[in-house]
Amino acid sequence: MHQDHLEYAKFMTRACLEKSVNSLLGLIEGITIDSEINESELSFLNLWLTEHDALRVHHPFNELIPVVQSAVADGVVTKDEHDDIVWLCERLCSTEYFDQRTADLQRLHAIVGGIVSDGMITEAELNGLSAWLQDHEHLKTCWPYDEVDSLIVGVMKDKKIDAREHALLMSFFAEFITILDGRTINSPVVSEGANILGLCAVCPEIEFADSTFCFTGASIHYTRSALASTVERLGGVFSPNVTKRVRYLVIGAEGNPCWAYACYGRKVEKAVQLRKTGVPVLIVHENDFHDAVLDAG
């Protein structure tokens, strides 16, 4: 981008945004269409990065650029990296992530973080938050709008907050202080029907023999190849993608930079969808997986 245009970057129209994201989507599909990528093709991805580097502080490029940079860093774009870029591009081209909706979701994160910042959540604060949600119904289906709304409705049925409900609210709302600190939530809650559930299983029983494992995010204990070999050594099967055969999806304790906006990525989204259809995939935190490895010897 020309230097004279930088000051106008924040005023980019939807058409320009779509053109940039779609160009990347077409580029990544094109250079991997033969399941191979050569040096010349890789240079086109680096050219796209260079062209958009000045926009890295603006949404959605603050999410997209780190993912592409990570993919091309070793000179090889794996199928998993390809799928991550395609998934993110498609999400960014959807109505979920554009303009006012993005700003309002960021505002919702800050509101929730502000409510919990004093260590106390009151009925008045929930009523005020409920009114704000009603004024921003265009955020429905975007995490965490539905979760926050369902939680408020359940808690405020009797118009008061008891000790158990306050603890539940504090546990959920406190996650948004993490967002405000610029870190990634790697264990958000999700809504399944009328229930608010933690994404990761609590104290899960993990069996390795004949079980299929998939991994997402960065691990504090293992490289990706070490994770796969550990599973296989203990009698399990490693899968690079989430399928109906996957029994455990392990979320790395370091999360993933591309989760900064949505709080989780393509594999977690797929696992949640499968779980909602009755597929018994268990989403577990890396710490629980590591404990199970130690117990299994």
Residue 206 CB burial class (10 angstroms; 0-12, 13-18, ≥19): buried
Residue 111 CB burial class (10 angstroms; 0-12, 13-18, ≥19): middle
What sign for the dihedral angle of Cα 233, 224, 43, 21? Answer: positive
**What is the pLDDT at residue 43?**
80
pTM over 0.75, yes/no: no
Q: Output the tens digit of pLDDT for each of the chain's 297 residues.
A: 434 444 444 444 455 666 677 778 777 766 676 566 777 778 878 888 888 887 777 767 777 888 888 888 888 888 888 888 888 877 776 544 445 666 677 678 778 877 877 778 889 889 899 999 998 887 776 667 888 888 899 999 999 999 999 988 888 887 665 443 333 444 444 444 444 445 677 778 999 999 999 998 778 888 888 999 999 999 999 999 999 999 999 988 776 544 433 445 678 878 878 887 889 899 888 888 999 999 987
What is the Cα Rg of the chain in Å? 21
Q: Residue 257 has what DSSP assignment?
A: G
